[in-house]
Structure 1
């Protein structure tokens, strides 16, 4: 099973949810040869719940994932933490929505707050508090792009770091840093945790730049957790990952410019 652990269902979190765009993303994921993806859209993305509701309403449930015309879609989210950094949470849609609801007061970071909100202490959730919340549910919790510049994940306490189920080997980071895989593996090894690949794509061209190949097909979070802990998977990375990610970034910029000019960012047929 070829699975990408870090993907997005929208072009950018500030843009509206588009069913056409999301459908096209899933179609392209299949065409790039993926069997499954973890949809880890930003938890404070505009229309986050609309995105999940669309999947629930239009595709059959298969264990903890959804069968999108042959592509298994596991539900998740990417959560900002107060310390600066992102955490991936993946699970059954009901568990993800339950956690999401409890993060309602943490949808805005300090930079976006007015003075009164700042004085109330409104901000992103602390990493330790997020871990405590996630422990209440059978979800997978991953450290997203933990050594990327601007992220303080690696500086968290050992107690918090040891609670991650996996560390994200991020496609964007690997395209810029030839030593990224070694850096992530070194951090994960301190806590005897698996390293898992994710493209971090927001559009179709980045699919396939990096992914995991599991020995068995999985449809539940429990099965995925078992395979990760047993090490029954391999990571595949394209030799031309830098070119692929750069091309994807150019597409993203072009689509955002298109939205700014005409209010649309959907290309029905890119081929």
Structure 2
């Protein structure tokens, strides 16, 4: 089973959610060989709750805690900025994700981002999975935080955008960090545009049917990370089209 664990389903935080864009994104993810994604949209994106209101209206949310998009699994989640730098990917049951989003309401602006330890405590209370996103990204590094806090994460993100930006040396850096802190690595494309799906993803030997199964499989390191030979082409193409679409205005179609 192939899962991308760092996915945005909006072109940018300033865009409103578009069901058409979402549907085209899932179609492209399927074509790229994925079976599921974690929907880790930014917690402070424009009208965050609209995403769930529209998905609830158009798709079933299963007892296993994912949206069934015609057989394709979409697990709820979000990407959260923390004080002191860094982003955390949070994944879990829909109600828990929405509760966390409510708790983060006072922390939407840069000057008031939530304390990292506080976020971890809330994730414990809500039984949420948490991954350290793009830990070495120069513009917003996560590694400034203490080892004690980093050890409370469930994994670090091997990020498709960072592999494109920094090259293969990033693989070794994340692997060394993983060994030092003692937690696994997961793969996430960090896509904002459908063309980037398939650049990097996780391969699990068995189906993943709920967040608890996902966490167990990752902690037991049952997965392998697949990096596409054309990762550079996929990320570059997606970045260029994203830039053009943002310049054009509100997005309804994923492609020009």
Give the whole-Å Cα distance in 2 for the aligned partners of 1:131 and 1:25: 30
Shift of 1:56: 2.3
Describe how 1:1-271 pairs up with structure 2 within 5 A: 1-62=1-62, 63-110=64-111, 123-176=112-165, 177-259=167-249, 264-267=250-253, 270=255
- Secondary structure, counterpart of 2:143 in structure 1: helix
Give the whole-Å Cα distance in 1 for the aligned partners of 2:55 and 2:157: 24
1:116 paired residue number: none
CA RMSD in angstroms, aligned pairs only: 1.3
Give the whole-Å Cα distance in 1 for the aligned partners of 2:3 and 2:180: 25
- Secondary structure, counterpart of 1:61 in structure 2: coil
Alpha carbons 1:9, 1:51 under 8 Å: kept = no
TM-score, normalization: structure 1? 0.91
Alpha carbons 1:30, 1:70 under 8 Å: kept = no
Shift of 1:150: 2.0
C-alpha distance after superposition, 1:103-142 (max 9, x if no partner): 00001112xxxxxxxxxxxx10111111111110111101
Give the whole-Å Cα distance in 2 for the aligned partners of 1:42 and 1:12: 9
- Secondary structure, counterpart of 1:135 in structure 2: helix
Give the whole-Å Cα distance in 2 for the aligned partners of 1:199 and 1:148: 14
Alpha carbons 1:170, 1:198 under 8 Å: kept = yes
Unmatched runs of 5 consecutive residues or more in structure 1: 111-122
Aligned length: 254
Give the whole-Å Cα distance in 2 for the aligned partners of 1:219 and 1:48: 25
Give the whole-Å Cα distance in 2 for the aligned partners of 1:229 and 1:198: 17
Unmatched runs of 5 consecutive residues or more in structure 2: none
